[in-house]
Amino acid sequence: MATFWTPYGPLTVATSKEFLAPSLIHPLGTDEYGRDVLSRLMAGADITLLASVGAVLIAGLIGIPAGLIAASRGGNTGELIMRGADLIYSFPALLAAITLVAAFGASTATATIAIGIASIPSFARVTRSAALSVLGTEYVLAARAYGRSPTAILRRHVIPNILPFIIVQASLLLSVTVLAVAALSYLGLGTPPPPPPGAGCWKTLRTISTRIRCSRSGRAWRSPSACWASTL
């Protein structure tokens, strides 16, 4: 929604509206620069949710086919795929993000790709486990005896039966990726924040009393924390 509309500009500065309490005009109040907290929360949530959904899609588009191939082929092919998944799983997502940032720079796409790659084993393992249980059923054995190809068996019998497991895994992984995207952004490895207008000047002009007010004002973190807690 923030892509199309926010109550105020997320970067709009109003020096006369610093630390306003929640009201009808500013439902969540304003921050130390007079920026509307609700507008900034909407803009930040939009980016975080898009990055999280993108990471889940990357993980699913690679992990689900890998799990299906490992379950249907078995043997050395299945072992090779799952050992590759174990290798990815053993590589910390944060370290992967740092590597990608060093190569391509900090951005939303970098964080999305790093988290998506790190989440591939989750989909691969769940898909393989669920597919193996379906492939051992009697109706699949009957389909094989009837002469159906492995691809037809996967498409007609396996995928429809494992779809609920995949949906549950995707929903669980989405909440994890939301936290991961936020953590990477906090460390400076995610979406780089644009500097607010006049921030460079205000950084030198802010007084000690303003900083004390900023530290004592809980609105800067209470509203975002409550919204993300309800989302997760």
Average pLDDT, the chain: 79
**What's the confidence (pLDDT) of residue 89?**
86
Compute the average pLDDT of residues 203-226.
Answer: 50
The answer to whether residues 114 and 51 touch, using CB atoms and an 8 Å cutoff, is no
**What's the confidence (pLDDT) of residue 197?**
41
pLDDT band at 207 (very low <50, low <70, confident <90, very high): very low
The answer to whether residues 178 and 184 touch, using CB atoms and an 8 Å cutoff, is no
Please give the Cα distance from 44 to 26 (Å, whole number).
Answer: 17
73-150-129-63 Cα dihedral, nearest 10 degrees: 80
The backbone torsions φ and ψ at residue 171, rounded to the nearest 5 degrees and listed phi first, read -65, -40
**What's the confidence (pLDDT) of residue 232?**
60
Residue 10 has pLDDT above 50, yes or no: yes
Residue 15 has pLDDT above 90, yes or no: no
pLDDT band at 228 (very low <50, low <70, confident <90, very high): low
The answer to whether residues 115 and 185 touch, using CB atoms and an 8 Å cutoff, is no
Q: What is the pTM of this model?
A: 0.76
Residue 196 has pLDDT above 50, yes or no: no
Domain span(s) for CATH 1.10.3720.10 in the chain: 42-194
Cβ neighbours, 10 Å, residue 224: 17
- Of residues 177 and 43, the one with the higher pLDDT is 177
pLDDT in tens, 50-70: 888 999 999 999 999 999 999
- Of residues 192 and 116, the one with the higher pLDDT is 116
Cβ neighbours, 10 Å, residue 177: 27
pLDDT in tens, 95-153: 777 787 778 877 888 888 888 998 999 999 999 999 999 998 888 888 888 888 888 88
**What's the confidence (pLDDT) of residue 209?**
45
Measured CA distances, 176 to 5, 76, 189 (Å): 27, 32, 17
Give 172's contacts (C-beta < 8 A, 6+ positions apart): none
Measured CA distances, 67 to 11, 61, 74, 79, 173 (Å): 44, 11, 10, 11, 16
Buried b / exposed e along 126-164 (16+ C-beta atoms within 10 A): bbbebbbebbeeeebeebeeeebeeeebbeebbbebbee
42-194, what's its fold? Answer: MetI-like fold (1.10.3720)
Measured CA distances, 213 to 13, 18, 218 (Å): 18, 10, 10
Which run of H or E residues covers position 53? helix 37-73
